[in-house]
Amino acid sequence: MATKMISILALGLFASPAIAAPVSNAELADPMYGPIPGESPIYSDYYGAAAPFPGNITEPIMPTGSGPAGPDDLLFQNLLAAEWVIFSFYQAGAEIFNESSFTALGVPNTTYQRILEIRNNEAGHLRIFQNQISANSIKPGACKYQFPITGPESFLALSTLIEISSMAFLTGLVQQAQLNSSRGAITAIGEVESRHNTWSLIDIWNVSPFTGPADTVFPYANEILDTTNGFVVPGSCPKNNPPYPYPSQRLPTLTASSNTTSLTPGSQIGLNFSNPENQPTFEQGQDYYVVFFHGVDNVTVPLNPNDLNVIVPTQFETKGVIIAVVADTPGAPTLDSVIAGPGIILEQVPELAVALAT
Ligand SMILES: *[C@@H]1O[C@H](CO)[C@@H](O)[C@H](O)[C@H]1NC(C)=O
Ligand SMILES: *[C@@H]1O[C@H](CO)[C@@H](O)[C@H](O)[C@H]1NC(C)=O
Ligand SMILES: *[C@@H]1O[C@H](CO)[C@@H](O)[C@H](O)[C@H]1NC(C)=O
Ligand SMILES: *[C@@H]1O[C@H](CO)[C@@H](O)[C@H](O)[C@H]1NC(C)=O
Ligand SMILES: *[C@@H]1O[C@H](CO)[C@@H](O)[C@H](O)[C@H]1NC(C)=O
Ligand SMILES: *[C@@H]1O[C@H](CO)[C@@H](O)[C@H](O)[C@H]1NC(C)=O
Ligand SMILES: *[C@@H]1O[C@H](CO)[C@@H](O)[C@H](O)[C@H]1NC(C)=O
C-alpha cells in the first residue's frame, strides 16, 4: 500500500493581497459592518478569484474598548490566527488554479467551484471569529504564508489534511471554552469543516465518507495549532498580533521516517523528529510512550528512544484520523506529559495516508 507523506517544500509564496483598507478600525470592529455570515451570500456563492471580505483586509483589528478581555477572547484569538492560515490556503488555490486545472486530473468538473465555496466559508469563519472576540482585545490579522503546493493534486491532498486537522483541534478548543455560546459556535464550525472533508472524500478520493462512530477527540488543541506555524513565513506577522498559539509548548515536530511504508493499524512506523533544531530530550531511567488517539479513546505503546519504531495499534479501525504524540506518561493525561508531536494520520484514504509534517 503506497504511503504518501506530505512534506514542506516551500515552492510557492502566497499571501492575501494587502490592500490598504478604506474602512476604519471602528467600522471593522463593529460586528454589524460588512457582509454578515449567515445572511450574505458572499460566504457561500461568490465565484470571483479575489479575496472576499474580510479576507481582503489583512491588518489586525485593534481594541475599541478598554475593559477586561472576554472569557473566550484568547481562545478565539488563537482560532482566528489559525483561520487566517486556512483561509489563505484556499485563497491561494482560488488564485493559482481554475476549473481546467482540476478537470485535467479527472476529478468532477465542480471541483474548482467547491474550492471557491470552501474559501468563502473560511472567509465567513474569519468574520465569525473576529466577532466572537470582545472589543477589548486585538483581533489578529494575516501573516504571510508558504504552502507546499506543487500542483492541483498536492493542493487537494493538503486541503484534506487541513480539514481533518481543523476538525481535530476544534474538539480540543471546545473543551477550553468558558461560554456555552462559544461551545455552540465551535461545534457548528467543526460541522462545516467535516462537510468540506466529506465532499473531498466522496468527490476527490472516491472513498466512503464515513469515519466510524466518532471523529477523533484531541484535548491539546494548541499543540495542533502550533504545527500550522510551519506555513507562516518567519517574521511576517503584523507586529500587533498576539503570539500564536498562546500558550505554546513549542514541541518537536513528529513525522514518520522516510522508510515508513504504511500508517494503517498494525503497521510499523519509524518516528522522525524532523526539525533538527528542536529535538526531544530522552532522559535515562524515564519511560517513554507513543499515545495514539482515535475516536474518543487513546491507546499507549511503549517507545524505545534508541529505536523509535512502533506499531500503530492493531485494535483501531482503519478509518478516520489517528493522532500520535510522544509522552512520558501512558495516556498522556496532562498537557505537560506530551514531549513531541502531534502527528496526524488520515486513515480514510489509504493511498494518501497523510501524516502532518510541518
Ligand atoms: C473586500 O471585499 C468585499 C467583497 O467581499 C468588497 O465589498 C470590499 O470593497 C473589499 N474591501 C477592500 C478593502 O478591498
Ligand atoms: C485555465 O488556465 C489555463 C492556463 O492559464 C488556460 O489555458 C485555461 O483556458 C483556463 N481555463 C478556464 C476554464 O478558465
Ligand atoms: C460537468 O460534468 C457533468 C457530468 O459529470 C456534465 O453533465 C456537465 O455538462 C459538465 N459541465 C461542464 C461545464 O463541463
Ligand atoms: C451553560 O449551560 C448549562 C447547562 O444548560 C447551564 O447550567 C449554565 O448556567 C450555562 N452557563 C452559562 C454561563 O450560561
Ligand atoms: C527526518 O526528517 C528530516 C527533515 O524532513 C529529513 O531530512 C530526514 O531525511 C528524515 N529522516 C528519516 C529517517 O526519515
Ligand atoms: C526503517 O529503518 C530503520 C533503521 O534502519 C529500521 O529499524 C526500521 O525497521 C525500518 N522501518 C521499516 C518500516 O522498514
Ligand atoms: C487516555 O486514556 C486514558 C485511559 O482511558 C485516560 O486516563 C487519559 O486521560 C486519556 N488521555 C487523554 C489526554 O484524554
Using the predicted structure, report yes or no on whether residue 13 has a pLDDT greater than 60.
no
Out of 19, 53, 122, mutate this one to test ligand 1's pocket (max ligand atoms within 8 Å of CB): namely 53
Return mean pLDDT, the chain.
91
Residue 236, C-alpha cell as written in the block: 511576517
**Residues with Cβ within 8 Å of residue 215, at least 6 apart in sequence:** 167, 168, 171, 194, 295, 320, 321
Range name among 17-31, 67-81, 254-268, 293-307 with the lowest pLDDT average? 17-31
Ligand 7 pocket by Cβ (under 6 Å): 219, 298, 331-333
What residues flank ligand 1, with Cβ below 6 Å? 19, 21-22, 42, 52-53, 56-57
- Region 147-165 average pLDDT: 92
* Closest ligand (CA of 331): 7
Q: Are 87 and 118 in contact (CB under 8 A)?
A: no
- Put simply, whether the predicted model's pTM sits higher than 0.75 gets the answer yes
Q: Check: CB of residue 230 under 8 Å from CB of residue 358.
A: yes
Q: Whose CA is nearest to atom 6 of ligand 7?
A: 331
Cβ partners under 8 Å of residue 277, min gap 6: none
Q: Which residues pair with 147 in a beta bridge?
A: 12
207 secondary structure, DSSP code: S
Task: Check pLDDT > 60 for residue 282.
Answer: yes
**In this model, does residue 261 exceed pLDDT 90?**
no
Give the burial class of 284: count Cβ atoms within 10 A of its Cβ; 0-12 exposed, 13-18 middle, 19 or more buried.
exposed
For a mutational test of ligand 5's pocket, the pick from 258, 259, 309, 358, i.e. the residue with the most ligand atoms closer than 8 A to its C-beta, is: 258
Nearest CA residue ID for atom 3, ligand 7? 331
What would the grid cell of residue 38 be?
A: 449567515
309 CA to centre of ligand 2 in angstroms: 46
Residues 6+ apart with CB under 8 A from 270: 256, 257, 259, 260, 308, 309
- 127 sits in the region (left: phi over 0; alpha: psi -120 to 50; else beta) called alpha
State residue 352's pLDDT score: 58
7 Cα to the center of ligand 5, angstroms:
10
Ligand 5 atom nearest to 272, measured from its CA: 1
Cell of 30: 463593529
C-alpha cell at 324: 500520535
- The yes-or-no verdict on residue 277 having pLDDT over 60 is yes
301: left (phi over 0), alpha (psi -120 to 50) or beta: beta
